Amino acid sequence: MTTDPQVIPIAPGRLPLIGHALPLMRDRLAFLQRLRAYGPIVRITVGPKEVTVVNAPDLIQEMLTVKADEFTKGLLFEKLKLFGKDALPVAEGKPHLTRRRLMQPAFHRQQVNGYIETMRDTVTPAITSWQHGDVLDLKTEMQLMTQNTVMSVLLSARPHPEPAHAILQSVDRVFTAALRRALLPVLLLERLPTRRNRQVTTASRILRTAVGAVVAEHRANPDAYDDIVSLLLAVQDETGKCLSDDEILSEVIGLLAAGSETTAVVLAWLFYELGRHPGLEERLHDEVDTVLAGGPITAERLPQLAFTRQLVSETLRLYSPAWLVTRQATTSVQLGQTRLPAGTDLVWSPYTLHRDPGLYPDPLRFDPDRWAPERPRPPKGAFIPFGAGKRQCMGDAFAWAEATLIAALVASRWRLRPEPGAVVRPVGEITVHPSALRMAVAARHTTTARKAA
């Protein structure tokens, strides 16, 4: 292997014509982790396309912060324009900055504190509807909860179970298509009228119809609402022009997509780990029973759930939902010692970074006590589940509050038990989700549950 930093090594195992497509298709999470051994920056190829993988935390930080203006969001986000080309997560340059400045105040920590009661009232009916002995598909259950939370907090909408399932399935479908198209970027395949491509068109239509109804209701009764849709409806640019319905739809769908599955898989993994570690589960129950003994979860009580938050941190570390984040160099750019030509496609992986043994001792062990106040913090740039810099997740405070709240509310009533003998694997699709996670519900006989909700 070369030691000249100007020459980026190419990962072994490349096959003629297809490059590294096979390991990427078969077990992409393991493949990406193996790449760490080949250096801070390494190249892989997928068919004719070459992709540069950045492994070192200092280089990732440089790319996301000080050099952020020299990169666009890259291949995956290009394909995620399927949700709407103007939405914040995929917008670039000035439109991105303007829209981010507009919406960011709705996601500030202080503002999120004002959402806690709505979050609680949205998820409580689902949690209290479970029966002792039920077996849940936990990922779907959590997805519906987080999707409903985004819809009720940000759009003042409460979809009934059937449309909620349809929205969920449509978001899933578009995500799957975007990832497939990013991993196998053959334009012709995307344009053929195949069954899959038709399904994507239908899914987009379902999403736009569902969200369109919410926007229409806001237009008809502007004084009845004070949420992100009202904000988008009221905005005017310097010439007095408002956003079109299509732009508003894209923005709202973008938030729904960015904010639902991510938090849901964190919760699914958190309960998976608790099912394997009864000692940690007991500590969670003790905390929840103590903090919520006085009454329901509120913005004041949430920060007292310190161990619950440690569990969320450790889940965000070990099962970072984002496993593939892309960028593209817009000019020739120096990253560390290496010069990258304009047009270089790059990826980095929060999932891989957080499992680096050089950054975390015994990295594969689920250990929430890494985050105990007396323990040293991880090195700078080593824990970035929400990214960093100007494209850092806008919903991070929202996600922290929501995940802590749902974990505590579930734990106040139930123990979730894994199916005996079930093998659960992490699968890297748009997020890292459990291959299948069916968990049995067992009632905890406490009085906290009634007070917490």
Considering only the stretches 55-63, 261-269, 333-341, 407-415, report the one whose residues sit in contact with ligand HEM under the rule CB under 6 A.
261-269
- Give the footprint of ligand HEM on residues 325-344 (CB under 6 A): 325
Residues in binding contact with ligand HEM, number by CB under 6 A: 23
| Residue 259 engages ligand HEM in binding (rule: CB under 6 A) | yes
Handedness of CA 226, 228, 229, 233 (dihedral sign): positive
Our CB check for ligand HEM shows the closer of 21 and 150 to be 150
Which residue in the set 43, 309, 391, 415 belongs to the binding site for ligand HEM (CB under 6 A)? 391
Considering only the stretches 5-13, 109-117, 259-267, 294-302, report the one whose residues sit in contact with ligand HEM under the rule CB under 6 A.
259-267
150-162 core/surface letters (b: 16 or more CB in 10 A; e: else): bbbbbbbbebeee
Calculate the dihedral angle through the C-alpha atoms of 4, 10, 16, 20, rounding to the nearest 10 degrees.
-170
| Residue 262 engages ligand HEM in binding (rule: CB under 6 A) | yes
Query: What's the CA gap between 21 and 183, in Å, rounded?
Result: 8
Task: Please provide the size of the chain in residues.
Answer: 453
Which residue in the set 243, 398, 407, 414 belongs to the binding site for ligand HEM (CB under 6 A)? 398
Which residue in the set 34, 100, 285, 301 belongs to the binding site for ligand HEM (CB under 6 A)? 100
6's CB contacts (< 8 A; 6+ apart) are 337, 338, 339
Our CB check for ligand HEM shows the closer of 24 and 401 to be 401
| Residue 321 engages ligand HEM in binding (rule: CB under 6 A) | yes
Question: Which residue number has the CB closest to ligand HEM?
Answer: 395
196 touches 177 (CB < 8 A): yes
Which residue in the set 175, 269, 272, 386 belongs to the binding site for ligand HEM (CB under 6 A)? 386
At closest approach, how far in Å is the CB of 394 from ligand HEM? 4
Considering only the stretches 6-14, 232-240, 395-403, 413-421, report the one whose residues sit in contact with ligand HEM under the rule CB under 6 A.
395-403
273 touches 104 (CB < 8 A): no
Query: What's the CA gap between 236 and 345, in Å, rounded?
Result: 35
Our CB check for ligand HEM shows the closer of 380 and 390 to be 390
| Structure tokens that stand for 384 in this block | 């970035």
At closest approach, how far in Å is the CB of 321 from ligand HEM? 4
List for the chain the helix, strand, coil content (%; round to 5).
Answer: 55, 10, 30
Of 264, 355, 278, 357, residue with least CA distance to 312: 264
At closest approach, how far in Å is the CB of 197 from ligand HEM? 25
Of 269, 296, 255, 299, residue with least CA distance to 147: 255
At closest approach, how far in Å is the CB of 355 from ligand HEM? 15
| Residue 395 engages ligand HEM in binding (rule: CB under 6 A) | yes
Our CB check for ligand HEM shows the closer of 256 and 441 to be 256
At closest approach, how far in Å is the CB of 309 from ligand HEM? 13
| Structure tokens that stand for 241 in this block | 């022009």
| Residue 122 engages ligand HEM in binding (rule: CB under 6 A) | no
Of 152, 249, 246, residue with least CA distance to 207: 249
325's CB contacts (< 8 A; 6+ apart) are 76, 347, 348, 349, 350, 387
Query: What's the CA gap between 147 and 141, in Å, rounded?
Result: 10
| Residue 430 engages ligand HEM in binding (rule: CB under 6 A) | no
Our CB check for ligand HEM shows the closer of 19 and 350 to be 350
For 42, the enclosing helix (H) or strand (E) is strand 41-46
Considering only the stretches 12-20, 161-169, 210-218, 394-402, report the one whose residues sit in contact with ligand HEM under the rule CB under 6 A.
394-402
Query: What's the CA gap between 109 and 387, in Å, rounded?
Result: 17
Considering only the stretches 125-133, 198-206, 295-303, 383-391, report the one whose residues sit in contact with ligand HEM under the rule CB under 6 A.
383-391
Our CB check for ligand HEM shows the closer of 267 and 452 to be 267
Our CB check for ligand HEM shows the closer of 370 and 415 to be 370
The Cβ of residue 449 has, within 10 Å, a number of other Cβ atoms equal to 21
| Structure tokens that stand for 429 in this block | 């699709």
| Residue 177 engages ligand HEM in binding (rule: CB under 6 A) | no
Our CB check for ligand HEM shows the closer of 21 and 432 to be 432
Residues that bind ligand HEM (CB under 6 A): 73, 88-89, 100, 150, 255, 258-259, 262-263, 266, 321-322, 325, 385-387, 391, 393-395, 398-399
